[in-house]
Chains A and B, each alone.
Chain A
Amino acid sequence: MVVFALLIINKAGGLIYNREFHSGLNKLSSNDLLILAGTFHGVHAITRSLTPHRWLPESESSPAGKATGIEVLESSTFRMQCFQTITGTKFLLFTEPHQPNIDAILRRIYELYADYVMKNPFYTVEMPIRCEKFDRGLDGFVKAKA
């Protein structure tokens, strides 16, 4: 299994965490990564509003709450899965194009985040994540899978 990288974007579109597990994607400067996170945040919101279901009459379309932005993006060299929490934090996981079980991986990463970031008294919500135990947990999990 190859997991290239993980980005976490807060609900305002700011990059609060980035981690490379495996080389394969271009190395970006931290400034470029910030731009990328901001761009993705905007595009994500647009893709949610672009849904063709809005052309349908009210009664026939899906409930508005179900509308999501980008969940999966595919390119010829990688696959990016985006998981958005109900509070608007986005987890972007970059993997190989045919990586199986990404949902389970993201779920586990979210658990690690809930435990070692949100339950850390020294973490300020929406700010960059600097939690040693979160890093270690991710390493242990991703490397154990590899």
Chain B
Amino acid sequence: MATPHSLHHEGPQKPPPSTTLPLRQHPQQQPQPTQQTVQALPVQPATGLRYPSSKKTIYDRNINRSKTAELSRAAFAYLFIEMIGYAQRRVKGVADLEKRLNEAGQPLGHRLLPLLLHRLPSPPPRPTRILPLLQFITTTLWRHLFGRPADTLERSAANAAEYMISDNEPLVSQYISVPREMGNFNAGAFVAGVIEGVCVGAGFEVEGVTAHGVAEQGGGEGGMWPGKTVFLIRFCAGVLEREEGLGKGM
């Protein structure tokens, strides 16, 4: 019991995980804010947001409505171009740019965690151990975002706090040719941000999640997977301590 409590103090710079938890535990309450939004409509006209005249906003729809829906890959590609262009505007280098993309991905992870947990056949409680969390990321989250599970999940041999998820062909960098002057920029930084959002949202503080291109050598031109990317997750010491404690308690 003491472990989650201490967590709140450990990461004051991150949004408290408790903000996402009530959503998951009481999904039925979700329509409530919606009602307010719709009622507030006539008071605030021209806000730039357009509401359908039937007052059926995205919040009025069933939460599972878009469960199996697919999005155009091109639409995402063009949106992502604009995101990178926007992020590139005020940055001073590749590391800065990756950081901004990472930050752009974090809120997505925060929101996806409760939604995807809710949609699971028998909604489990949020993952409390590292391995179930990572499996949730490599299967449920990956399937939701990219339509397939991640390729591998490994634990770093050198550092117990480091885990690696690899994707042979990340969708986000499918169309991207990185110019030479950009060095080792990897558009997977955005996905790294999503992973970070999920981890933090589930109460696993991380020191950082980063994306690294690791083109395989040999096997023809540039290897079989020229775009292969590894997402390196570094958990905070507190998470490992808790994991140890939970392991003993079992």
Contacts and interface: CB of A to CB of B under 8 A. Distances in A.
Query: Is chain B a partner of chain A in the same complex?
Result: yes
Contacts of A130: 177, 179
B225 to A, nearest CB: 13
Interface stretch (A56-64, A89-97, A113-121): A113-121
B81 A132 contact: no
Contact of A121 (B85, B221, B222): B85
Central interface residue in A120, A121, A133, A136, by most chain B CB within 10 Å: A121
A119 B177 contact: no
Contact of A133 (B78, B177, B187, B221): B177
Given A121-B84, A121-B85, A116 B175 contact: yes
Contact of A136 (B85, B88, B179, B221): B221
A133 B80 CA distance: 17
B178 interface: yes
Central interface residue in B177, B221, B226, by most chain A CB within 10 Å: B177
A116 B176 CA distance: 7
Assign chain A's interface to a size class.
Answer: 10 to 19
B133 interface: no
A134 B175 CA distance: 9
24 contacts: A116-B177, A119-B74, A119-B78, A119-B175, A119-B176, A120-B81, A120-B175, A121-B80, A121-B81, A121-B85, A121-B176, A121-B187, A122-B84, A122-B178, A122-B179, A122-B182, A123-B177, A130-B177, A131-B177, A132-B177, A133-B175, A133-B176, A136-B221, A136-B222
Interface of B: 74, 77-78, 80-81, 84-85, 88, 175-179, 182, 187, 221-222, 226
